Amino acid sequence: MTAPRPAPPIAMLAELTHRCPLACPYCSNPLKMVAREGEIGTEAWADIFAQAAKLGVLQLHLSGGEPASRRDLTDLVRAARDVDLYVNLITSGIGLTEARLRELDAAGVEHVQLSLQGVNAGIADLIGGYKGGFDRKMQVARMIGEIGMPLTLNAVMHRHNLDDLPQTLDMAVELGARRIEIACVQFQGWALKNRAALQPTREQVAQAKALVDQARRDMRGTLVIDFVPPDYYADYPKACMGGWGSTGLNVTPDGTVLPCHAAETIPGLTFQNATEVPLDQIWYDGAAFNAFRGTDWMPEPCQSCSRREVDFGGCRCQAMAIVGRAEATDPVCKLSPDRPKVDALLTENAESAAGGTTEDFIYRRLEPVRAR
Ligand code: SF4
Ligand code: FES
């Protein structure tokens, strides 16, 4: 019997560039980033957008690095709108002037997701590694409000800012955001390198959950709060990417197509480039996309678990990072034989006094090792 054809993807994340003025130690970009010379041009991206729309993609997330580092950002938005993709711009705000924002609005950006590193310049500029970044971001947020572009704040939370959650929510309301995403740091990319310095404590997480529950009641009708708790403290993993190769794909600055942003950490997978291979072929037939699609690949205990089509065995990249095997059950799962490895990391972290300081940060920096 032949396997049923997978459904088409709904969303595409286009990492337009890895260049970024900020240097957040939790960046989800890979450690080996694409240099400017390796980035594909406007026409190549426009062609990928057209192929994505034809394949069935509805939502396009323009991300980076900092997408505003691309001079052709407005042209790229136009190209995406020309093929009827919904365009969400994910930005730190740095590099966006009022004139540029108005241009982007006119070109058809439907939604802006603005990252927030902290609630004041002291913490935000320390996390972002960029002096003056916070003040600039506040100006940009106000401009977005004046222009009337729908705004979501995207606050990555960790040991050093989770206690500022009440002020973070107030700031979202003050800036006119309709939604805030409180995402506790996920340990991929640079965040994995900085895990000891970023891991929140169990008490911080419990307090944050209670606060979010209360705030959801108090702010109903004013602010939608999405909360992504840190999964190391959870009993079950998240359905990473909604299941491998099931709802979305990522395209890196050089056109490489990935099933998730950290997929390149899995040895043995080979990835294709959308400037060389048709996108629908990569999605339906690509070896990387089929590696962990569906449930056939699953080991026990996932294979006979009632949640196997709820979380799809969790995150392959997390299994790789902690267990050393991408095909293992996500070790966050309490049913995984490897759960003690996660518990050991939490204990190690709780006991490590030095582990929690910002002085230990290894900031993200662009090492031009992947110029095609
Ligand atoms: Fe999910 Fe596998 Fe754990 Fe079941 S055993 S809850 S499918 S990770
Ligand atoms: Fe790759 Fe979760 S980040 S599967």
Model-level pTM? 0.93
Ligand nearest to the CA of 302: 1
Question: What are 197's two structure tokens?
Answer: 């310095």
Mean pLDDT, range 325-341, rounded to an integer: 97
Mean pLDDT, range 50-63, rounded to an integer: 98
Each residue of 198-254: pLDDT tens digit? 989 889 999 999 999 999 999 999 999 999 989 899 999 999 999 999 999 999 999
Between CA 349 and CA 357 the distance in angstroms is 12
pLDDT at 357: 76
Q: Which residues contact 64 (CB under 8 A, 6 or more apart)?
A: 15, 16, 17, 18, 19, 20, 29, 90, 91, 253
Q: Is 109 in the pocket of ligand 2 (CB under 6 A)?
A: no
Q: What is the pairing mode between strands 151-157 and 111-116?
A: parallel
Distance of CA 135 to the CA centre of its chain: 24
pLDDT at 304: 96
- Atom 5 of ligand 1: nearest residue by CA position: 302
Each residue of 245-304: pLDDT tens digit? 999 999 999 999 999 999 999 999 999 999 999 999 999 999 999 999 999 999 999 999
Q: Is 269 in the pocket of ligand 2 (CB under 6 A)?
A: no
pLDDT at 366: 76
Ligand 2 mean position, distance from CA 136 (Å): 32
Global ipTM = 0.93
pLDDT at 312: 96
Q: Is 263 in the pocket of ligand 2 (CB under 6 A)?
A: yes
pLDDT at 372: 46
Taking residue 167's Cβ as centre, other Cβ atoms within 10 Å add up to 14
pLDDT at 371: 43
Q: Is 73 in the pocket of ligand 2 (CB under 6 A)?
A: no
Ligand 1 mean position, distance from CA 304 (Å): 9
pLDDT at 311: 96
For the chain, what is the radius of gyration of the CA atoms?
Answer: 20
pLDDT of 73 higher than 50: yes
> Dihedral angle at the C-alpha atoms of 102, 105, 107, 113, nearest 10 degrees?
120
Query: Which atom belonging to ligand 1 lies closest to the Cα atom of 298?
Result: 2
- Atom 6 of ligand 1: nearest residue by CA position: 307
pLDDT, greater one: 353 or 58: 58
pLDDT at 364: 87
Burial of residue 367, with CB atoms counted within 10 A of its CB: 0-12 exposed, 13-18 middle, 19 or more buried: exposed
Q: Which of 64-78, 99-113, 119-133 has the lowest mean pLDDT?
A: 119-133
pLDDT at 14: 98
- 8 A C-beta contact, residue 49 and residue 79: yes
pLDDT at 2: 62
260 a known binding residue?
Answer: no
Ligand nearest to the CA of 191: 2
Mean pLDDT, range 39-65, rounded to an integer: 97
pLDDT of 368 higher than 60: no
Q: DSSP assignment, residue 44?
A: H
pLDDT at 244: 98
DSSP string, 69-83: GSTTHHHHHHHHHHT
- Atom 7 of ligand 1: nearest residue by CA position: 308
pLDDT at 143: 96
Which of 308, 318, 334 is the best mutation target for the ligand 1 pocket, counting ligand atoms within 8 Å of the beta carbon and taking the most? 308
Each residue of 149-194: pLDDT tens digit? 999 999 999 999 999 999 999 999 999 999 999 999 989 888 888 8
pLDDT at 184: 92
**Among 308, 270, 261, which Cα is nearest to 289's?**
270
24 a known binding residue?
Answer: yes
pLDDT at 188: 85
pLDDT at 360: 79
Mean pLDDT, range 117-142, rounded to an integer: 93
Query: Which atom belonging to ligand 1 lies closest to the Cα atom of 301?
Result: 5
Each residue of 81-124: pLDDT tens digit? 999 999 999 999 999 999 999 999 999 999 999 999 999 999 99
